[in-house]
Structure 1
Amino acid sequence: MMRRIWSRLAEIARRARSPLLVGFLAASLAGVAYAASKYAAASADNRKIAALREGRDVPVSLNSAGEVVFARIHFLLIHDSIDEAQALVNALDQKPGAPVRARARYDLGNARMRLGFDLVESGKLEKAEPLINLARSDYRQALSLDPDLWDARYNLDVAMRLIRDFPGFDEARGEEIPAKPGEFWTDLPGKPRGLP
């Protein structure tokens, strides 16, 4: 079938009297080929994302589109593979145009907070502290990438209060921003620390 199409196009080119018409035909064919390749790549990416959402493990290349890498990160975090997801988040950070970078950091912070909460509930405060500190760092990075991500702002506040509220945590080792003398406000604007 393709041979017949090419032979027909060659016949049209021979009959054409104008080189401009032949150039236009060649440019049109190149555009169609480019659009077809982009469509095929987008379809493959969509199939991978759909498979990951359905819970099937699909390998993803680090050179894949940001949305595909994000879908793999989300799959890994749901299945408690935080270390493997961390490697993909770091790879996603190398893609400057990826709009899902903040969301990936936010999801990574949430996974660490869930583990931290589980450890706090079981009374293992020493093991929970590093996870909660890493979650705080992830939330801060997410906010630096997307300052309008209010869920990350809220979860950062929860993580900071969790560190402060438990006496087993050493506040000197946290990432607390020191208050200047005479200021009665917390490190998050609009949240008073106590009565003035």
Structure 2
Amino acid sequence: MKTFIIMLFLTMCQNLVSQELPVLSTTSQFNREQRFNHQENGNYARDTHNERDQYVGLWEYNQNGILFLLKIEKMNRVINKIEAPGFETIYNYFDLLILRYRLVKDNIVIFDNLNENDVDPIANYATKLGSYSFASGRIWDRTRNVRGSHTITRLSTSPPKIIFNLEKFNYTKLNDPSFYQDRQPLFSIPQGGIEMVKID
């Protein structure tokens, strides 16, 4: 009987955790006038015009002994949830681009999560708002443990190319400050608006 009660309790907890919070409103990421409403509690900001499609694929930068592969995929209805004891849960949903990458320097693999399924969509993402000519978001440089802001601009070229720009001034250091006093660049991921070609 005790085992049955424990199993019932665990099942109830799992159901509560896996329950989706309701969508209270819907906005279009394409509609410029709605951009301030995307953050409203319970809102779902949808990619109604398939703006993300132009970025999907595997992109390559290969110069000066650095191979950087960036895999971009779509993920629909990703929840962004803020919970604090004693306060109402605040949440909203977004249609995002999810980023994975492989970084190789001088034929040594520095980091590779291209084929992992458990990517954190809030740590490595981009959104494409219809009123802008680029997608923007955050990426987590795992080797230096820094999260930085980036933009991805799709070029009108054949073969398809993008400009990936990891910004130099908008970042969050996740290690103790002493870790970054090693005279190494803050990011291991290439910066400076690199041009990447689509290979898949």
Category of TM-score, reference length = shorter chain? under 0.3
The answer to which structure has the higher helix fraction is 1
As a proportion of its length, which structure holds more strand?
2
TM-score if structure 1 supplies the norm length? 0.27
Bigger CA radius of gyration: 1
